[in-house]
Structure 1
């Protein structure tokens, strides 16, 4: 049976996911077979496994760091917020329904056997399990029947490392307050404290660290600097979504929908040094970019109405008519069509709404979610996108709609993306393109062809690029993160907490 260690935080976005990913990479480097685990994740960033099951993206990233295949066992429960009061509940990769927060809270302890089974299956196949908590273990209004923080630590009998975010200020109060609000047996599980996202000279912290250790009786195992590493963020708190400036030759403007999902689709573009990916929430921020990207969203209809009310739809439409490339992914693709029909009211009580009218297609929402992970191919194209023809892409589908050409069209329209069975999953018309495929920019050949197309439209030629695959880039970043943690954490003590001997 595997050894386990759990990373909990004093608050959301304290850096639990990043610390967990870094530890996964360190343990892998040290020769251990390691897997991540999070019993319950709440995020709109999700992924489809090779079995066609849905899980949280954070554990996918941690699995990549660990060098293992992502599995829904690593995230048995995923909550995808649909409203401020409720979420779609996904258990072991499959949707079980939508629930209001209070209904889920009353029911969640019924999922403990599922959580235990998933964890024990992972533990039987690995040497170390790195468990991630959620939010804070000191949310006293949520502690009853907890299944994700101290409740999970108890199930796994895992020692806990508590992470505080020094960048937001008040880290000593965060750590002391969190520990003090826990029950004595929960306090006993905490074996060490970590201060994360520090900027400056660590020496100025030393007096406070001494007092902190005396107050709570727990060692500070390290002060982690604000690391310059590019690891995928988990959710809407991601710092990458705050980027608003043009910093490179190619300007990619991404519409930041209120319910934006799978914005990690943009990471492959943002890793390119000559591409600037920025996020836009109002017309005055849009400018005249080289391409406008409409990403995925958990509620296409509501976010389309937001786009319309904000004035962004009108400006995007004007730019498209002037020849700007507009590219939609999943929900963004659905918005580009003539209409969106929801007869079963799976997304909205409105029934149907007018689309942006930039692609001559129509979408009908269906009750069953489409989950696929396979190889796809760009079709034989003409016009503005001809240089993208016949490129292989790899990605996955997460959608509840079917999109088809809307009868006879005045504008020439071409199938853009198809799967191995010939099913069309995207179209192009003029300078507008859309697809259901998440991760469409991940394959290097398609990504570079797309960037070169943008250069050509500016009358320029792209210079030499690094020609890194996304996998190679991720590996570099994981190794960089692991090095930062090795230099800032007491890994010998962490191995001792695990009951293992530090290698090397």
Structure 2
């Protein structure tokens, strides 16, 4: 095989059709076949991000795809990341480093055009260094209002001469029309890059779908290379917060033999994948709460991270959830704040330079003894350390190693003893604080630590006056690998891989 990678691009007829998950599936399939595989997405808009070993910030979807490909995530896989801070603006992250906040109007113009050389360089370097590159598009290539400055869909396909698979979500309805309409709206040279169609999230008897497949191929002249069934018996980490709408369930519907953990559904909630490990626990139900009416009777409440801490703190006060959290804590009920949630549980949050919003200062919930002030420089680092506190559930895992990542603009001063000792580049430093039944930390990925998560769940059962039935929690690493392998098997059996390999120009024993 030449030193130029075989390549494949997954584009969609709209957002949330399953592009990210299908790209992860192809990453795992070709990784299983022995290729050196790498994912790529030129520009990603998401509040779920990750910090690489070099301290760069990138979209979580490409991290998941890198894990599926068996490689270490790096920022070239996602050179441009947009993190919404409001309805019309986003923080711009280029090659892992925050560049400031910009309105959509200002970004989608000359500034976006200036980022194209960065995308080009990252794309071509990855094509040189790998044997297979799986590329993901964003939204739809037919969004005519955005096409002039496109740096993520067909411009990438044409730049890298990457064959495109067009994906439609058949579960939401209108899939045939969305495929035909998309192909009608793109330019002729862009349409020529589309070499296959995939219908995703199919439920039912595929024999009944055959007339529709025949219609699509006859109408477009492009082969349908796969019909991927809807699945929910295993889970691949999601990036789009649309999935959270399905998780705001009524706690009265939960089985009585499960813990009820409630996460506050902040308007600018970020990094909600922090809580996926809790969802994997068989004796835990996890739900998202948007108002007091959904509160129920939780065993634990978590205030998550936020991309606009001051605005989300104002939401807590205006919705009544702020006072509800204070009352819950005064009842000595368990409460955890992560990153922005940690800051909100403190006494005050200040933003004198307006790094996140127009607000300069807002009163915190006054639960934790910390004060936070934002600065221009973002702290982004992977963190490794040790549990040093013995408060609450931490007494069960004191001395255990932990790891996670930090991604925050604010610096918090605390009056309390730290929960964790973190090994920095040059020094040790403390993180987190506890007050009564509440604790907070800057560590994202906290619940990925198996020993800590097990300690928390056992402690919550003991607070109920019961002993946990399970002796241990499932390993997150093992769950992730099993899910990737099951996803690869599902997609392998649902698409014409021989045809896809031919589209990619792969010459190997696998295509014989």
Alignment partner, residue 300 of structure 2 = 291
The verdict on how the C-alpha distance between 1:55 and 1:501 changes in structure 2, with shifts beyond 3 A counting, is same
2:303 pairs with 1:303:
no
Cross-structure match for 1:43: 46
Measure the CA separation in 1 of the matches of 2:437 and 2:397.
13
- 1:439 equivalent to 2:445? Answer yes
Whether the 8 Å CA contact 1:30–1:503 is kept in 2: the answer is no
Deviation at 1:239, TM superposition (A): 4.8
For 1:102, the equivalent position in structure 2 comes to 105
Which residue number corresponds to residue 143 of structure 1?
147
- What pairs up with 1:406-425 in 2 under 5 angstroms? 413-420=416-423, 421-425=427-431
Indicate conservation of the 8 Å contact 1:50/1:374, yes or no.
no
Q: By how many angstroms is 1:385 displaced?
A: 4.3
How far apart in 1 are the matches of 2:391 and 2:17? 48
CA distance in 2, matches of 1:104, 1:86: 9
On the 8 A contact 2:397/2:451 being kept in 1, the answer is: no
Structure 2 matches for 1:104-183, cutoff 5 A? Answer: 104-106=107-109, 107-183=111-187
Deviation beyond 4 Å, 4+ runs, structure 1 = none
Match of 1:270 in 2: 279
The counterpart of 1:353, out of the listed 334, 348, 362, is 362
After TM superposition, the structure 1 = structure 2 runs for residues 30-429 of structure 1, keeping only pairs within 5 Å, are 30-106=33-109, 107-228=111-232, 229-239=234-244, 242-246=247-251, 247=254, 249-382=258-391, 385-405=394-414, 413-420=416-423, 421-429=427-435
Question: TM-score of the superposition, structure 1-length normalised?
Answer: 0.96
- What SS class does the counterpart of residue 90 from structure 1 fall into? strand
5 Å-filtered alignment, 1:468-479, equals 468-479=474-485
Q: CA deviation at 1:383?
A: 5.3
Determine the structure 1 residue equivalent to 2:13.
10
Distance in 1 between the 2:472 and 2:331 partners? 32
Deviations 1:164-207, CA, capped at 9 Å, x for gaps: 01111000001010011111111110000000011111111111
- Larger mean Cα displacement after TM superposition, 454-463 or 42-51: 454-463
Between the aligned partners of 1:428 and 1:255, the Cα distance in structure 2 is 19
Asked if the contact 1:161/1:190 (under 8 Å) is kept, the reply is: yes
Question: Which runs of 5 or more structure 1 residues have no equivalent in the other structure?
Answer: 407-412
Q: CA deviation at 1:388?
A: 3.8
SS across alignment from 1:424: strand
Distance in 2 (CA, whole Å) between partners of 1:388 and 1:180 is 59
Aligned residues: 498
Pair 1:320–1:31, CA change in 2 (3 A): same
Give CA-to-partner distance per residue, 1:417-445, whole Å, 9 cap, x none.
23123322210111000000000011111
Structure 2 CA distance for aligned equivalents of residues 374 and 258 of structure 1: 27
More moved, 389-398 vs 42-51:
389-398
| C-alpha separation in 2, matches of 1:342 and 1:182 | 44
Give the structure 2 partner of residue 485 of structure 1.
491
Q: Deviations over 1:388-441 (max 9, x none)?
A: 4223211000001111225xxxxxx43112312332221011100000000001
Closer, same or farther: CA 60–28 of 1 in aligned 2, 3 Å: same
Paired with 1:333 and 1:159, the residues of 2 have a C-alpha distance of 45
Equivalent-residue separation in structure 1 for 2:310 and 2:246 (angstroms): 22
Question: Contact between 2:250 and 2:294, CA under 8 Å: does it hold in 1?
Answer: no
Paired with 1:188 and 1:31, the residues of 2 have a C-alpha distance of 30
Normalised to the residue count of structure 2, the TM-score between the two structures is: 0.95
Question: 1:19 corresponds to which residue?
Answer: 22
> Equivalents in 1 of 2:389, 2:434: separation in Å?
11
Cα 1:123–1:383 shift into 2, 3 Å:
closer
C-alpha displacement of 1:465: 4.8
For residues 260 and 434 of structure 2, the distance between their equivalents in structure 1, rounded to whole angstroms, comes to 21
Question: Could you tell me how far 1:34 is from its partner in structure 2?
Answer: 0.6
Calculate the aligned-residue CA RMSD, in Å.
Answer: 1.4
CA distance in 1, matches of 2:390, 2:431: 14
In the alignment, what sits opposite 1:464?
470
Partner of 1:410: none
Cα 1:384–1:481 shift into 2, 3 Å: closer
Q: Secondary structure at the match of 1:345?
A: coil
Shift of 1:104: 1.1
Shifted more, 420-429 versus 190-199: the winner is 420-429
